[in-house]
């Protein structure tokens, strides 16, 4: 579509439920939280996972959204031959500013239907981290809301503790 003038290389879109969806621009707070995630997960990895940032995940033939972050199972080819699928994802993270409603109402149910085991929505407006587990056909059976002062532990790596404050605290 880029050759026909429909979508250029700088266009931010994703495929969800067979629809091409425009993605919101990334603001400074969103970008800063993403950089903190890079630093945190790189330091904690010990090569137990691969960090993917704004890369597609193939949920099915109609959906290939681009979450902000994923912790993936290591792959011999580093996913150069295919996009990761639900079984490859340890943890999927959405950093949500203006996209909170979209992430909760459109993307989260799609992730649950596909069987993504754990999703975190870092809710910038409310200064919370929403942890979703136990996927099923309409979303997730378990939701936990964490606040500054709490810590999150990925289901696949219970020895890893992430302080919510370390992600959400803004510089004074």
Q: What is the mean pLDDT of each run of 10 residues along the chain (172 residues)?
A: 52 80 75 76 79 92 94 92 96 94 96 98 96 96 98 96 90 42
Q: How many domains does the chain have?
A: 1
Residues 6+ apart with CB under 8 A from 135: 111, 112, 113, 114, 115, 116, 117, 141
The reply to whether 140 falls in a domain is yes
The pLDDT of residue 144: 98
CA angle 86-108-64, nearest 5°? 50
State residue 5's pLDDT score. Answer: 53
C-alpha dist (Å) from residue 137 to 107, 113, 131, 140, 144: 13, 4, 17, 8, 19
- Domain assignment present for 155: yes
Can you give the pLDDT at residue 8?
A: 56
Tokens 């754990």 label which residue? 118
Domain extent, residue 53, equals 27-168
Is there a domain that residue 46 lies in? yes
Q: Please check whether residue 47 lies inside any domain of the structure.
A: yes
Does a structural domain hold residue 89? Answer: yes
Distances (CA, A) of 124 to 33, 72, 84: 9, 24, 27
CATH number at residue 33: 3.90.1570.10
Asked, for residue 1, whether it belongs to a domain, the answer is no
In a domain, 151, yes or no: yes
Measured CA to CA, the distance from residue 24 to residue 20 in angstroms comes to 13
Asked if the structure places residue 122 within a domain, the reply is yes
Q: Is 102 left (phi over 0), alpha (psi -120 to 50) or beta?
A: alpha
């Amino acid at each position: 579509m880029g050759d026909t003038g429909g979508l250029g290389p700088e266009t931010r879109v994703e495929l969800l439920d067979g629809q091409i969806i425009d993605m919101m621009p990334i603001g400074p707070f969103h970008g800063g939280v993403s950089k903190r995630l890079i630093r945190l997960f790189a330091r904690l990895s010990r090569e137990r996972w691969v960090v993917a940032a704004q890369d597609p995940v193939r949920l099915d033939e109609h959906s290939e959204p681009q979450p902000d972050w994923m912790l993936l199972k290591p792959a011999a080819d580093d996913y150069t031959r295919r996009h990761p699928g639900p079984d490859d994802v340890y943890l999927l993270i959405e950093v949500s500013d203006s996209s909170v409603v979209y992430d909760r109402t459109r993307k989260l149910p799609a992730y649950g239907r596909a069987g993504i085991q754990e999703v975190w929505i870092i809710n910038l407006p409310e200064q919370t981290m929403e942890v979703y587990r136990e996927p099923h056909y309409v979303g997730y059976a378990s939701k936990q809301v964490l606040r500054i002062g709490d810590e999150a532990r990925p289901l696949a790596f219970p020895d890893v503790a992430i302080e919510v404050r370390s992600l959400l605290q803004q510089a004074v």
